[in-house]
């Protein structure tokens, strides 16, 4: 674990130095080996609504969402989400899928949540994925790639800079992300996201299809704040494009250390509807 942390620290210092040496000024999301980013509010695992226009699914009236506290330990008096199915962005197909889960939660059952069952979040749910406390998300920047590293299970997103999308990208959990800088903003365009019954665009279990297209704009508004503006399109699941926001706050707790999910998350009483993923064969 110590070797992993040390290696990542050295790599991030090198990567950020390369990013700073570029001719054009760009936002530096990794000024040192200890800078990480996290969602510094109680409901940080919810999207924020846009300033105007259609926005993300939120809680249904009469069913307020209370999160399970912050950090690595459970806290508070949490509730599971019940989605507001009157949101006009939802197609009848999406409403049908979500109604099943709503009814199950109201009946007292535990729904699937990617963070609880050790599944990757996908995109744009990456921006509301919270199971670990700070340090949460690290950036590493090179002239041709940006890495976004989430401490839980050491998940990594690869953003390839200044290149076009592949002709036929293979679908994956985090899709194919290409990016470019616009002043102090990193713009990330993602397609080829895995169409899977366990992949959602948020923590309200809002489904998507293989047509999902996400554009994220990561803006360094000051040295301690990253604002993320998100645009989502999917004609199979949504009646219109919609937008959402997230705010990340800087932390100097680092460098990254290991935090695994599956090894410490057993379901002794078979309460959860989906098992933790297991590999059929070892990869080493």
What tokens does 199 get?
Answer: 């992949």
Per-residue model confidence as pLDDT tens digits over 139-188:
999 999 999 998 878 889 999 999 999 999 999 999 999 999 999 999 99
**Three-state secondary structure call for residue 162:** coil
- The pair phi, psi for residue 148, each rounded to 5°, is -115, 115
With residue 175 as reference, give the H or E element that holds it.
Answer: none
HEC string for 24-85: CCCCCCCCCCCCEEECCCCCCCCCECCCCCCCCCCECCCCCCCCCCCCCCCCCCCCCCCECC
Per-residue model confidence as pLDDT tens digits over 50-109:
999 999 999 999 998 887 765 444 456 778 999 999 999 999 999 999 999 999 999 999
Per-residue model confidence as pLDDT tens digits over 32-51:
989 999 998 888 999 999 99
The reported pLDDT for the residue numbered 12 is 46
101-105, 141-145, 249-253, 263-267: segment of lowest average pLDDT: 263-267
Per-residue model confidence as pLDDT tens digits over 175-227:
999 999 999 999 999 999 998 788 999 999 999 999 999 999 999 999 999 99
What tokens does 63 get?
Answer: 């069913």
Instruction: Parse the chain into domains and list their residue ranges.
Output: 2-259
The reported pLDDT for the residue numbered 170 is 95
- The predicted model gives 271-284 an average pLDDT of 78
The reported pLDDT for the residue numbered 48 is 97
Q: Alpha helix locations (H) across the chain? A: 2-20, 92-106
How far apart (Å, rounded) are the C-alpha atoms in residues 259 and 190? Answer: 26
pLDDT band at 19 (very low <50, low <70, confident <90, very high): very low
């Amino acid at each position: 674990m110590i070797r992993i942390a040390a290696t990542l620290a050295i790599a991030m210092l090198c990567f950020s130095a390369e990013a700073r040496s570029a001719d054009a000024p760009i936002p530096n999301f990794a000024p040192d080996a200890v800078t990480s980013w996290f969602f510094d509010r109680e409901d940080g695992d919810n999207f924020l609504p846009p300033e105007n226009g259609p926005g993300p699914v939120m809680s249904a009236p009469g069913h307020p969402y209370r999160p399970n506290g912050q950090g690595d330990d459970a806290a508070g008096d949490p509730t599971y989400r019940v989605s507001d199915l009157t949101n006009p962005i939802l197609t009848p197909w999406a409403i049908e899928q979500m109604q099943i889960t709503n009814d199950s939660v109201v009946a007292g059952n535990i729904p699937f949540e990617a963070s609880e069952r050790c599944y990757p979040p996908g995109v744009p749910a990456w921006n509301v994925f919270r199971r670990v406390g700070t340090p949460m998300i690290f950036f590493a920047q090179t002239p041709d790639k940006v890495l976004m590293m989430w401490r839980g299970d050491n998940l990594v997103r690869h953003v390839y800079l200044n290149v076009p999308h592949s002709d036929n990208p293979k679908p994956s959990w985090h899709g194919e992300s290409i990016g470019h800088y616009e002043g102090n903003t990193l713009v990330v365009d993602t397609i080829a996201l895995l169409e899977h019954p366990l992949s959602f665009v948020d923590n309200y279990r809002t489904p998507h299809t293989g047509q999902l297209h996400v554009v994220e704009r990561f803006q360094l508004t000051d040295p301690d704040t990253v604002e993320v503006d998100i645009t989502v399109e999917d004609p199979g699941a949504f009646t219109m494009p919609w937008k959402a926001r997230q705010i990340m706050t800087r932390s100097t707790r680092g460098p990254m250390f290991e935090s695994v999910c599956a090894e410490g998350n057993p379901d002794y009483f078979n309460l959860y509807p989906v098992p933790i993923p297991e590999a059929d064969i070892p990869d080493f």
